[in-house]
Structure 1
């Protein structure tokens, strides 16, 4: 029995697939980090005093689908220019840049890999648990990053923190004054990010 090809049906199927793909892309909105409205700080300790470095140059984006009751995140990327971290003390900054090997590794990067959960806390605020790749001084580690996501009219706000050890990323804690001042291994990153 002779069978006939049905090019019309095949084209209809391809058209449907393309339409569904296009619709899903259109539903996802991408928001870009507002550097001036955002803050990211690194906190640490030393044998002399506690310290803070503030990132002056940040960039990134998030892709969200907000049509469902609970939003979904398809992409999240954050970048900090390593030599934009400033403590207000030039000597400390230089030691930090040396430890971070900024001559070869210009940025600190986070790229989301997976969403573990998104839970509503009410009033447009969601608790988000993610895994992603954090790259510091050329070393990449997969980490768990938890934060609150707040949806407003045209903005997305992310706030949270992450604690880790420098040596996890093969960064030697800086020293000063011929080793008489030592820096603690543990660091804490706190972020309040605005994307629009």
Structure 2
């Protein structure tokens, strides 16, 4: 991942802490689930999009959980439909997502930065985390809260979970597709399974 990678590497080097981790994008997964509203919802037009280009960094030290932090950067033009629609509709949904929903040319990155992370140990190496931070989407920054299941070892950090957000909170209006035949719900569901390696 070349976009903003230098910022991530410089932050890790500057912090100098053994518990710093950098995302392994080849082993990680970020998806966005859209849902059709009204009568057309019964026709199965609820596509799932995968984020293909993203980078991130995290710090987690079981001895000092209060010092944990997380930063994620996503390329707004890298979402691809992976299921929930046919080949004919896929290209239009991807184009409208990039150009009209995310306005990727004006706002090329989606950014999440934690402000505070509350960590609860479940048992050895397994934790529940409540991540509170700011999400910047389409140039609008709003508070965002994410709950995650975390598996931590000396060499690897793995976090998984899901959360929802409303597009209208980021200034994104009602979304339609296929000439207005499909209207999408305001709420999006995002799921993640992130693998990070110790820097």
Between 1 and 2, higher relative CO (CA 8 Å, sep ≥ 6) is seen in: 2
Deviation at 1:177, TM superposition (A): 3.1
Q: Which ranges in structure 2 are unaligned for 5 or more consecutive residues? A: 1-14, 83-89
Q: Which ranges in structure 1 are unaligned for 5 or more consecutive residues? A: 1-24
| 1:65 counterpart SS class | coil
Aligned to 2:72: 78
Q: Which has the larger radius of gyration?
A: 1
Aligned to 1:87: 81
2:42 is the alignment partner of 1:42: no
TM-score (ref. length: structure 1):
0.80
Aligned to 1:59: 55
Deviation at 1:28, TM superposition (A): 5.0
Contact 2:22 2:58 in 1 (8 A): yes
Q: How many residues matched?
A: 169
Aligned to 1:18: none
The C-alpha deviation readout for 1:105-147, integer Å capped at 9, x for no partner, is 01111100112x2111113111111210001111110122111
RMSD: 1.7
Cα distance in structure 2, aligned partners of 1:153 and 1:28: 9
Contact 1:114 1:130 in 2 (8 A): yes
| 1:156 counterpart SS class | strand
TM-score (ref. length: structure 2):
0.79
Cα distance in structure 2, aligned partners of 1:154 and 1:108: 27
2:173 is the alignment partner of 1:183: no
